[in-house]
């Protein structure tokens, strides 16, 4: 039986829209695309999530990938606005989290995220009510590594067989399933997710 709902953050609770952040400060679409590519699509971006690169070093390397000084100067501006300029609540999800709390589930967050999110976690609606939060940067390991899932269950004394993990990345959802959790790969279909949670709530109430 599911007693604990574990949410991912990005594209589950929060929309991630870095290109929009670049467009907001760039003089034209071509410039925005270049800054976006240099900063967000390079493999170094995900290193923020396990803490193996600092924000300052990431910005320096992204600037070095741009051949226009005016564009280089935009990178620190984008970084300065994070996470508020790249993350926003997905409509309807805050209300769903409220409903999950009202059903009596334990509610947790397990997210690949860097220090900028960890230190500004108030951006996530109702985060202060969550029974536990695990950010990858604080653990030094990212999903889908099984270790980070075990960090959550060990820290909060949860039975893996009673946890449902909701993540937009199928590989992350499958990793949870492989170590005994229930899991659900969320594709943005909020009504379908609500139906799944309603079924879990009925079981919990019986």
**pLDDT (average), residues 188-194:** 97
* pLDDT for the residue numbered 206: 85
pLDDT per residue over 82-102, tens digit each?
999 999 999 999 999 999 999
Band the pLDDT of 125: cuts 50, 70, 90. Answer: very high
Q: If we measure between CA atoms, which residue out of 175, 158, 84, 92 comes closest to residue 121?
A: 84
Contacts 24+ apart (CB under 8 A), 128-137: 129/101, 131/4, 131/106, 131/107, 131/156, 132/106, 132/108, 132/156, 133/108, 133/109, 134/108, 134/109, 134/110, 135/109, 135/111, 136/49, 136/50, 136/111, 136/112, 137/48, 137/49, 137/50, 137/51, 137/113
- List, in sequence order, every residue forming a beta bridge with 87; answer none if it has no partner: 16
Band the pLDDT of 16: cuts 50, 70, 90. Answer: very high
* pLDDT for the residue numbered 102: 97
* pLDDT for the residue numbered 107: 98
Q: Is the pLDDT of residue 73 over 90?
A: yes
Q: Is the pLDDT of residue 196 over 90?
A: yes
**pLDDT (average), residues 134-153:** 98
Percentage of the chain exceeding pLDDT 90: 100
* pLDDT for the residue numbered 89: 98
* pLDDT for the residue numbered 51: 97
pTM of the shown model: 0.96
Band the pLDDT of 59: cuts 50, 70, 90. Answer: very high
* pLDDT for the residue numbered 119: 97
Mean pLDDT of all residues in the chain? 97
Structural domain boundaries of the chain? 4-14+89-205, 18-80
Band the pLDDT of 151: cuts 50, 70, 90. Answer: very high
Looking at domain 4-14+89-205, which CATH architecture does it have? 3-Layer(aba) Sandwich (3.40)
């Amino acid at each position: 039986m599911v007693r604990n709902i574990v949410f991912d953050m990005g594209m589950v609770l929060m929309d991630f829209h870095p290109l929009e952040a670049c467009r907001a400060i760039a003089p034209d679409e071509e410039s925005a695309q270049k800054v976006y590519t240099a900063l967000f699509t390079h493999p170094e971006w995900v290193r923020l999530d396990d803490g193996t690169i600092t924000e300052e070093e990431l910005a320096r390397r992204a600037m070095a990938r741009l051949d226009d000084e005016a564009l280089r100067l935009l990178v620190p501006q984008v970084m300065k606005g994070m996470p508020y300029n790249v993350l926003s609540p997905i409509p309807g999800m805050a209300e769903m989290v409220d409903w999950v709390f009202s059903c009596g589930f334990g509610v947790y967050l397990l997210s690949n995220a860097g220090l900028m999110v960890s230190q500004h976690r108030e951006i996530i609606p109702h985060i202060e009510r969550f029974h536990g939060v695990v950010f990858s940067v604080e653990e030094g390991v990212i999903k889908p590594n099984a270790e980070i899932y075990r960090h959550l269950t060990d820290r909060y004394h949860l039975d893996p067989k009673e946890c449902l993990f909701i993540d937009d990345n199928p590989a992350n959802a499958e990793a949870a399933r492989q170590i005994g959790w229930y899991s659900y790969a969320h594709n943005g279909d909020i009504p379908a997710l609500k139906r799944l949670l309603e079924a879990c709530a009925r079981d919990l109430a019986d």
